[in-house]
Each structure stands twice: as structure tokens, then as C-alpha cells.
């Protein structure tokens, strides 16, 4: 490991990190996403646009802000992980607790397909994060 204690590389691409930020906060601003990932706001905008153009997320205008919905049923665009879905990756990466605990996952954006089960009494708006237990 370098003397500074930081590696010069990451296991996750910036695209995966941007998706994880959006999964945690569907109303995040591009500046906030960029700060969290360690990239510029312009780079965050480019990545969000690429993800939207590829169908992995959609944007809805809410006032002066965007709200994002991740299409969690789509496959991971990687030859080695093609059998896995985006929602599987996000659930794995954002457990937020001890190994074996489940964390937030996003609902499927496909029309006609049900999203993940909801906790009793919980109401979600499209694109929001739900905890599965």
C-alpha cells in the first residue's frame, strides 16, 4: 500500500459508485454525487447521462431538481457478471451492516413487473430505497 495509506485504484468503477450514490439518495445533486465519488460535477453529469442513455436509470424532474430511478432488473454490463442484475450488485454493496445483513435495494423500474416486497405499513415513491429484511 502507498505511504499515504490510499491506493491509486479502486475495485469499483466510477459508474458503479455513481449508481450506489443514487441508490442511497435518489434526489442527490450532481455536485453531491461527484463529491461522494471523488470526481468533478461535470464527470458525474457525464456518467449519469451515460447510465440514462444505456437505460440503467431514468430521471424525473421534481421542481428544480432531478429524481433518479434505477432499473434494478437490468443485467450488469460486464462479461463476468452478466448473469447478475444491477439490483443484486447494489444490495451487496450497500448492506450497511455486518456480513449477511441486507441493506437498501431499489425497486425495479420495469412496467408490469413487481418490485421487491415492502415492509408492512411502508409507503414508497418511485425511485425510493426500500429496506428488505
pLDDT computed for residue 108 by the predictor = 43
Please tell me which residue, 92 or 46, carries the higher pLDDT value.
46
What is the percentage of the chain residues whose pLDDT exceeds 90? 52
Cell of 116: 421487491
Q: Which residue has the higher pLDDT, 102 or 10?
A: 10
- Band the pLDDT of 9: cuts 50, 70, 90: confident
Task: Please report the pLDDT score of residue 60 as a whole number.
Answer: 96
pTM: predicted TM-score of the whole model, two decimal places: 0.68
CA nearest 106: which of 76, 81, 131? 131
Q: What is the mean pLDDT of the chain?
A: 77
Per-residue pLDDT tens over the stretch 66-113: 999 999 999 998 888 888 999 998 998 876 544 444 444 444 444 333
Which residues, 6 or more positions from 89, have their beta carbon under 8 angstroms from its beta carbon? 16, 19, 76, 81
Amino acid at each position: 500500500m502507498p505511504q499515504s495509506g490510499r491506493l491509486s485504484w479502486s475495485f469499483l468503477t466510477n459508474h458503479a459508485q455513481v449508481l450506489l450514490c443514487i441508490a442511497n439518495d435518489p434526489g442527490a445533486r450532481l455536485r453531491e454525487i461527484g463529491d461522494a465519488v471523488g470526481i468533478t460535477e461535470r464527470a458525474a453529469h457525464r456518467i449519469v447521462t451515460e447510465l440514462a442513455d444505456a437505460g440503467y436509470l431514468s430521471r424525473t424532474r421534481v421542481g428544480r431538481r432531478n429524481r433518479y430511478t434505477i432499473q434494478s432488473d437490468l443485467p450488469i454490463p460486464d462479461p463476468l457478471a452478466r448473469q447478475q442484475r444491477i439490483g443484486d450488485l447494489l444490495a451487496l454493496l450497500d448492506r450497511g451492516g455486518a456480513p449477511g445483513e441486507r441493506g437498501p435495494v431499489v425497486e425495479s423500474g420495469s412496467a408490469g413487473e413487481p418490485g421487491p416486497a415492502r415492509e408492512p405499513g411502508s409507503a414508497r415513491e418511485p425511485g425510493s430505497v426500500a429496506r428488505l429484511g
